[in-house]
Amino acid sequence: MNKSFDINSFEERLNIKNQFDGNLKHGAAKFHSQTNRSGKGKPADGGLIREHAKVVFDTGVDRYQRIKGFWEEVNNCPVCKSCERDPFLSRLGLEVWRCRNCDHRYLNPRINYKKVCEIYSDDKTASDMYLQPLQKEIDRDKYRYGLSLIDQIGTPSRKLIMDLGCGAGVFLEEASSLGWTSCIGVDANERYSLSYKNVPGIQYIQTTFESLDMNKLGSNYDCISMWNVLEHIYDLNTIVSVIKKLLKINGLFFIMVPNVESLASRLIREKSATFNWKHVSHFCKSSLEKLMDQHQFECVHLETAITEIDNIKSYLSGEYPYHGYGDPEGLFDFITPEYIHKNLLGSRLIGVFKNVK
Ligand SMILES: [Zn+2]
């Protein structure tokens, strides 16, 4: 079994998680510059990036105005369907709301589906980040961690695994090298298909997630993963119900999503890069569990990963969060990865859900 830590030990999990925490391992300045996150026009710079500028116009006066014709109203919470809500925050022409019923945060209005597909199919900002060697190295450790969690929780067999939103395919390479027989990757972005070589056991399918076709994808999956993808999905309940049909009984649904109740998001709020054009949903522990519960998925593991500790300390120092100022005087040494993850304050939620019936 692929087991470099014990899932039941908080300390052992913490040690491994710290290995794929870019901020912690390399410092924000190096990590952000080497992975194309910082610099003019990049996500950590605080202004409009290339893709966002296709749907929002910077007027220079009232600043950001949504460009007419590209936006649609969202009348109900994407998780629980309630229409009761309060404004949560605004950033760069985006409005984020908080559901009064389930605490889910979501974008309203959001970019209409036709326009967003067009932008995704040519999302250079994302592929520029995720194809960088330092990012791939971090991702590899992250994916190994996830695969070990999956193994330790246990799947019906170790045959068929699917990664929805597979990007450059690093997760599938790891799964394949660890003995998964058949690894299927699905992504909407054309730019990634080039990075797939003819690796036996790995198959790449280009499609949007809203049009997943069971005839094309098959069924009887032991595990389906979505790494930082669910927050992008327009119709959450439909995709979760499709995934349920694709999975075997007792198959696992592995999810990583940004945690809107992370320490970083709680503090940095409207300066936080997580509130961007493509994140239509912002999950907290309760809204993620609510969504899964609605489809009879049982939560078998939940924790947080990625501290963003350097960003947090820069911000507490009164500086811009993403430039790597940090905490030169050590005033915030009491904020540790241990404290963050013990209190589920990490910037990503990891949830593993079992298809119980
Ligand atoms: Zn709700």
Q: How far is ligand 1, taken at its centre, from the CA of residue 306, in Å?
A: 25
Q: Tokens at residue 341, please?
A: 């993850």
Q: Using CA atoms, how far apart are residues 354 and 331, in angstroms rounded to an integer? A: 43
Q: Tokens at residue 154, please?
A: 């246990």
Q: Residue 270 contacts by C-beta under 8 Å, 6 or more apart in sequence?
A: 89, 90, 91
Q: How far is ligand 1, taken at its centre, from the CA of residue 78, in Å?
A: 7
| Stretches in the chain below the pLDDT threshold 50 | none
Res 194: pLDDT: 67
Q: Which of 199, 237, 206, 241 is nearest to 224 (CA)?
A: 241
Res 38: pLDDT: 81
Res 1: pLDDT: 58
Q: How far is ligand 1, taken at its centre, from the CA of residue 258, in Å?
A: 17
Q: How far is ligand 1, taken at its centre, from the CA of residue 108, in Å?
A: 13
Pairing of strands 64-66, 202-206: unpaired
Res 260: pLDDT: 98
Res 196: pLDDT: 67
Cα 199–chain centre separation: 26
Strands (E), 112-239: 160-164, 182-187, 202-206, 221-227
Res 256: pLDDT: 98
Q: How far is ligand 1, taken at its centre, from the CA of residue 98, in Å?
A: 8
The β-bridge partners of 282 are 105
Q: Are 221 and 200 in contact (CB under 8 A)?
A: no
Res 44: pLDDT: 77
Q: How far is ligand 1, taken at its centre, from the CA of residue 80, in Å?
A: 4
Q: Using CA atoms, how far apart are residues 334 and 214, in angstroms rounded to an integer? A: 50
DSSP structure class, residue 93? T
Res 206: pLDDT: 83
Q: How far is ligand 1, taken at its centre, from the CA of residue 81, in Å?
A: 6
Res 57: pLDDT: 84
Q: Are 238 and 210 in contact (CB under 8 A)?
A: yes
Q: Using CA atoms, how far apart are residues 246 and 166, in angstroms rounded to an integer? A: 17
Instruction: Give the model confidence (pLDDT) of 238-297 as tens digits.
Output: 999 999 999 999 999 999 999 999 999 999 999 999 999 999 999 999 999 999 999 999
Rounded to 5 degrees, φ, ψ at 170 are -65, -35
The helix (H) or strand (E) run that includes residue 273 is none
Instruction: Give the model confidence (pLDDT) of 112-150 as tens digits.
Output: 999 998 898 788 888 788 778 888 889 999 999 999 999
What is the per-residue DSSP string for 35-80?
TT-SSTTSGGGSS--TTGGGTEEE-SSS-EEEPTTSEE---S-TTT
Res 62: pLDDT: 67
User: Which domains, ranges and CATH numbers included, belong to the chain?
Assistant: 10-355 (3.40.50.150)
Q: How far is ligand 1, taken at its centre, from the CA of residue 292, in Å?
A: 13
